[in-house]
Amino acid sequence: MLNKMYQEFIGCDKEFDESSIVLFGAPFDSTTSNRPGARFGSKAIRDESYGLETYSPYQDKDLEDTKIFDMGDIELPFGDSKKALEMIGNVTKEILKNEKMPFMLGGEHLVTLGAFNEVYRKYPDIRLIQFDAHTDLRDEYLNVKLSHACVVRRIWDMIGDGKIYQFGIRSGMREEFYWAKEHTTLNKYNLSGLDKAIEEIKDYPVYLTIDLDVLDPGIMPGTGTPEAGGISFNELIDGIKKMSGLNIVAVDVNELAPNLDMSGASSALACKVVRELLLMLYR
């Protein structure tokens, strides 16, 4: 008998059938406009997770007490966004079909669209919570509609007005900020509007997407488009804990570019965010 040839995210060593959460990587960064490297994010998160404890003092929970399967990374074609999103969709679909929660590790932010498509198919009344420095509301970027800079706009194309809640936003075109006033709930700079949003969407299924650049680049420099003035790690952990009462049905954590922070601190931080999310979500 042979064993698998990769190390899963720490504590996520259960089999598919017995698990309620399925972790998978989407190592894709073809539309990254500034500094590439997010394609290495999921692998770094998996590798560096062995620097973590499985126990969280923040939540008094331990990954050892969970049943989570890490399937590893999907092998994606870098030159073809449409095909890559389709492949991400197929994996997501299979996870949902088996009544499990997809938990995707990016990759650039565009990968969210592949998973979201399938989640929307299963949950037509889905709401989106986005933590991000950037609006991601452009209709197109460099004449491309399938771009990391357009991902939330593409989600709006599907679900429409009043269902998208954005937090930590501090960068975008004027047109995007004005457009958001009509179509999304955009909270600038921090997570201060989160309580109100939770109250509004507590009866709906929720897709949670966390672009790690929502964090301050002082603690999270390892990302493609760092944006000064971000939230602290403790603010993010508080936000994650607050969402434990929500009906979150799918999650992704994206935009770690480990090659852009040679200290490794950004990767270690991302691992910790993933651990806290898994422990918050596990039922």
Stretch that binds Mn ion, among 59-67, 116-124, 125-133, 184-192 (CB under 5 A): 125-133
Residue 48 within binding range of Mn ion, rule CB under 5 A: no
Among 48, 70, 108, 132, the residue binding Mn ion under the rule CB under 5 A is: 132
Which residue has its beta carbon closest to Mn ion?
134
Please, which residue, 96 or 256, has the CB nearer to Mn ion?
Answer: 256
Please, which residue, 205 or 222, has the CB nearer to Mn ion?
Answer: 222
CA gap 173, 162 in Å, rounded: 20
Nearest one of 185, 209, 183, 188 to 199, comparing CA atoms:
185
Distances (CA, A) of 10 to 21, 27, 42, 43, 72: 14, 19, 13, 12, 12
What the block records as the tokens of 33 is 């406009």
Residues 147-206 that bind Mn ion (CB under 5 A): none
Q: How far is the CB of 199 from Mn ion (least distance, A)?
A: 26
Residues 210-249 that bind Mn ion (CB under 5 A): 211, 213
Q: How far is the CB of 233 from Mn ion (least distance, A)?
A: 17
| 205-211/127-131 β-pairing | parallel
Among 43, 134, 138, 163, the residue binding Mn ion under the rule CB under 5 A is: 134
CA angle (93 as vertex; 90, 97 as ends), nearest 5: 145
> In angstroms, how far apart are the furthest CA atoms of the chain?
60
Q: How far is the CB of 132 from Mn ion (least distance, A)?
A: 4
Amino acid at 15: E
Contacting positions for Mn ion (CB under 5 A): 132-134, 211, 213
